[in-house]
Every structure is written in structure tokens, then in C-alpha cells.
Amino acid sequence: MSELVLHDDELDEDCYRVRLFLSLLGLEARRVAVDVVPGGAQDSPGFRAVSPAGLLPVLRIDGQMVCGAGGALLALAHGRPAWLPEVRADFARVAHWLQFAAGPLRATLLMRRACLFGGAGDGQSARRRAAVGALRIMEDHLVHRRLEGGAWFVGDGPTVADIALFPAAALCRDWGEEYSAYPALRRWVRAVRGLPGFVTMPGIPDYG
Amino acid sequence: MSGTCDGGWYPLMLSADLELGTVAGSTVLGRDLAVWRDGEGQAHVWDDRCPHRGMRLSLGFVREGALACLYHGWRFGVDGRCVHIPAHPDLSPPGTIRAAPLPVAECHGLVWASVEEDGSLPEGDPAMDAAAWVPVRSLRIEAPWQDVARAVGMPDGHRAAALDRDVEGRVLAALLPVREGACMLHLLAAASAGVERLHDLADWGQDVRARAEERAGQVFLAGVVA
Ligand code: FES
């Protein structure tokens, strides 16, 4: 593999998804910091030349630029059956959750950004309800997984789906959701934290 | 353990959800609690305020049989007394620095705490004592606990009861009033329920949640939002 490069914003949870996965895989990437808040560098001509739609992060892998967390995670998981199952039914399950992370789960990210960077929280907005609804879908799934003896979103071990979903659950306190409302998510967050190579980001405590 | 409202005992969480050497948060009637299990398996419930600067102990972690606060690392032993201050490792902390432990009981697969000072001790409830209980799940419901209690068929004035819902066996339902208009519903099945039955009960819980929240005018539908 040629040198990995990650265009990265320390405070952005999409970038954290990829940093976390790199660390769990034991890979190092050269990091290029993108100053999003307050710099707005994601819209600068220089960055748009790398990421035409302004998506963060950008991973360069085997000389190829991949823009956005979902794509970067997939590119890193390729050829690693433990993280991206080859059996089609399990692959389909992982694909389902990656799509969920890139779709309905965005509501949690938008809530968090609004609360951290946009002033006050926005009470019972449509966005907040959608964000809670998305976390509940994850909670309900993990409840059923646990009843059948599983601890992860798909199969017997962590997959790239768990990594794509993790920050939304781990960071929900930033927009006012308590872990106590999601006991299954809480146990799963703990399991992810226990993986060898786990790293945190600002907002996810480091127990040292 | 009496399922009635006497004695101030509240079902905080499923025992199974409090793993060895971990801490979780819980809220009873707006009062925030830290619930933790030491290395020996004993559960403890304290007010969720660090005696140092009032940060939340439920965000901390369990180390060497003590609950450690995330913020400055002060550690508190099972009796609530401060046992370690990292900034002053040689100091033996004065006994006046202590967290506030509440009376705790663990039975029927649940962790209970008494939040009223004169709370009487838990008493037996024959129907709840008659079975071993298998944890199904807990759900947060954004609706008044009394409404959920009625909806699941809880006897009047009870927060927990063994319900005869259907022919397939009994269900233990326990309700924790979190604050005005929000509660946690804990569900357990009488042993030895099969996996299918546990899945059905978990789904039933979701159904109870959806209906109660609809009555309360609270709907949480995931979807794509801007
Ligand atoms: S607030 Fe808990 S140690 Fe300082």
C-alpha cells in the first residue's frame, strides 16, 4: 500500500470515524488538518480541488482520493473479511447499516453541530425527534441482537458497520441525550471502547 | 420487594445492564443518580454529584473497587468516602469528603434504590417471588408513567408487577418515573422463556412505547432531515 493520507478535522465526527478505523487496523496515515471551524477551509478552492463537493474526510489510498466517511471506511475495509464480510447476507447487513449511518443517522450529527456550534439546542424540533428516532432504531436492533447472543450490529465480531455507527451513540450527550435512555447502546459503546487500538475524539472521554 | 408505591423503592435498571466494574446513570423523578457495580458484584447507588466540584459521577469509571470521577480523578470507596485524590496522592482525604449512598436492593433481575429517607425495607411480593426472571429489555418512553402503567395492565398504585398478559407465561414489568412525562419501562420474562418469546416481548415493549407516546403527542420518527 502506498502512503495513506487523511484530510482531517479533529472536531468532526466523520473524520473521527476514519481515524478510529485506521487505529483499529493499526494503520498510520499522514494527516492534513482542514480548519473547518472557524476557518471554513472546507469551502476553500484548495480543498475543493481535493474534494469537489467539500466532503470531509478525504482519504488517499493507493493513489486514489475517496471523499466522505462511508467511502473511506469501505475502501479501508476492502479485503478484510473480519471487518467487511464476504458472505452476501452479512455483506448486505453491513451495507444496510452503512447506508443508515449516511442517511437517517445524520440527524444526530446535525443536532450535535447545532448544539455545539450553532448556539442553543433546539428543543423538540423535527430534527431532534428524527435524531432520537435514529438512535432508537440502533437501540432496538442491539436489543434483539443481545437476545440472540450477539453483541455487535452484524455477526459475531465488530465490522465496519459498528465503526460507522459508533460516534453518533458515543457523542449523543453533546445534544442532550442521556446514555441511560439507551441501555443496549451503552453496553455496545463500552464494547467498542474495549477494542484494541481504540482512540477517542474531543467529547468522548478517555479513561486512561 | 413490594411492587407498590410504599417505601420509596424504585426500579432503576436491569441487573444485567450493570456490568461488573461499570457505572451508569439513572434519573428518578428528576433526581440524577450514579449506579455502579464494584469488582465483587455489589451494586451501589449515589447521587450523581461529585463531592469535589459537583460533576457527574455517572460519567466516571470504576477502578480498584472505587468509583473515579472523570474530571479530576478523585476516587470514592463503597461507603462513599473519598479514598484518593490524584493531585495529592500522599494525602489521606478527610472523612467528611464523601458521596451520598442510597439504600440499594437487587432482586427479580432489577437494581432498586430507595430515594426517600424514611423508605421502609422491601417486602416480598408472592407473584414476583414465584418465578426466576430473564431480562428482556428496558425502554425509555416519553409519556407519563401512570399512563404506561395503565396500558400494560399494572395493578393500581404499583410500579412493578408480575403480569398475566397471555398464556405463554408471566411478564415482570417495572416502571421508573424519570421526570414529568417520561419513564423507563423494564421488561423481564418468567424463566424459562424461549428466545422467540423474548423477541416477542421486546417487540411488545416497542409497541407499548409507540402507543403511549402517540397518546402523549410525542412521535420520534427517523428519516432524512436538514
Ligand atoms: S469534580 Fe469530581 S474530581 Fe473534581
Look at residue B166 and tell me if it is in a domain: yes
Q: ipTM for the complex?
A: 0.93
The ranges assigned to domains in chain A are: 4-77, 88-193
How close A194 gets to chain B, by Cα (Å)?
13
In tens digits, chain A (208 residues) has pLDDT values of 679 999 999 989 999 999 999 999 999 999 999 999 888 899 999 999 999 999 999 999 999 999 999 999 999 999 999 999 999 999 999 999 999 999 999 999 999 988 887 765 566 688 999 999 999 999 999 999 999 999 999 999 999 999 999 999 999 998 999 999 999 999 999 999 999 999 999 888 877 5
Interchain pair A133, B61: CB under 8 A: no
How buried is A125 (Cβ within 10 angstroms: 0-12 exposed, 13-18 middle, 19+ buried)? middle
Q: In the prediction, which pLDDT does B54 show?
A: 92
- Which of B140, B185, B218 is the best mutation test for A, with the most CBs of A within 10 A? B140
Q: Which residue has the least CA distance to atom 1 on ligand 1?
A: B53
Three-class secondary structure of residue A99 per DSSP: helix
Q: Please tell me the CATH superfamily of domain A4-77, with its number.
A: Glutaredoxin (3.40.30.10)
CA Rg value for chain B:
19
3-class DSSP assignment, residue A115: helix
Same domain flag for B196 and B137:
yes
Nearest CA in chain B to A101: B224
In a domain, B121, yes or no: no
CA distance B1 to B4: 9
Which residues from chain B sit within 8 angstroms of residue A101, using beta carbons? Answer: none
All residues of chain A having their beta carbon less than 8 Å from the beta carbon of residue B24 are: 179-180, 183, 186
Specify the pairing of strand A5-8 against strand A30-33: parallel
Q: Do B225 and A180 touch (CB under 8 A)?
A: no
What pLDDT is attached to residue B217?
93
CATH number at residue B178: 3.30.530
Q: In the block, which residue shows the cell 424514611?
A: B118
| Closest residue to B195, CB basis, from A104, A134, A148 | A148
Domain that includes residue B19, residue range: 6-104
Q: Are residues B169 and B217 in the same domain?
A: yes
Annotation: CATH topology of A88-193: Glutathione S-transferase Yfyf (Class Pi); Chain A, domain 2 (1.20.1050)
CATH number of the CATH domain containing B77: 2.102.10.10
- Sequence-separated (6 or more) residues with CB below 8 Å from residue A86: none
Task: Answer whether B183's CB lies under 8 Å from B198's CB.
Answer: no
Candidate from B198, B206, B221 with C-beta closest to A140 = B206
Q: In whole angstroms, what is the distance from residue A203 CA to residue B171 CA?
A: 39
The grid coordinates listed for A1 are 500500500
Q: Kindly report the CA angle at A188 between A174 and A117, in degrees rounded to 5?
A: 15
Contacts of B130 (CB under 8 A, 6+ apart): B162
Q: Tell which residue, B78, B81, B36, B38, has the closest CA to residue B56.
A: B36
First to last CA, chain A: 32
Upstream peptide bond of B192 is cis (omega within 30 degrees of 0): yes
CB atoms B19 and A148 under 8 Å: no
> Is the predicted pLDDT of residue B90 greater than 60, yes or no?
yes
Q: What is the pTM of this model?
A: 0.94
Cα-flanking dihedrals φ and ψ of residue A52, to 5°? -55, -35
Label residue B169 by pLDDT band (50, 70, 90): confident
Cβ contact, residue pair A144, B202, below 8 Å: yes
User: What is the distance of C-alpha A198 from the center of its chain?
Assistant: 13
Q: Do both B76 and B159 map to the same domain? A: no
Rounded Cα distance, A77 and A20, in Å: 13
Q: Among all chains, which residue has been given the C-alpha cell 449511518?
A: A101
Question: Can you read off the three cell numbers belonging to residue B20?
Answer: 461488573
Confidence at residue A195, expressed as pLDDT on a 0 to 100 scale: 97
Residue A103 touches partner B, C-beta closer than 8 Å? yes
Structural domains counted in chain B: 2
Q: Are B184 and B138 in contact, with CB atoms under 8 Å apart?
A: yes
Q: Which residue from B48, B63, B72, B85 has its CB within 8 A of the most atoms of ligand 1, so it is best to mutate?
A: B72
Looking at the fold, whether B15 and B54 belong to one and the same domain comes out as: yes
**What per-residue confidence (pLDDT) applies to B118?**
54
> What is the signed CA dihedral for A181, A20, A191, B182, rounded to 10 degrees?
0
Tell me if B25 and A184 make a contact (CB, 8 A cut-off): no
Query: How far, in Å, from the CA of B63 to the mean position of ligand 1?
Result: 15
Measured from the Cβ of residue B35, the count of other Cβ atoms closer than 10 Å reads: 25
Give chain A's radius of gyration (CA, Å). 17
- DSSP letters, A17-31, are HHHHHHHHTT---EE
| Chain A residues in contact with B207 (beta carbon < 8 A) | none
Residue closest via CA to ligand 1's atom 3 equals B72
To the nearest 10 degrees (0 to 180), the angle between helices A13-24 and A69-77 is 10
Distance from CA of B135 to the nearest CA of A (A): 9
Pocket, ligand 1, Cβ cutoff 6 A:
B 50, 52-53, 55, 69, 71-72, 74
**Cβ pair B106, B38 in contact under 8 A:** no
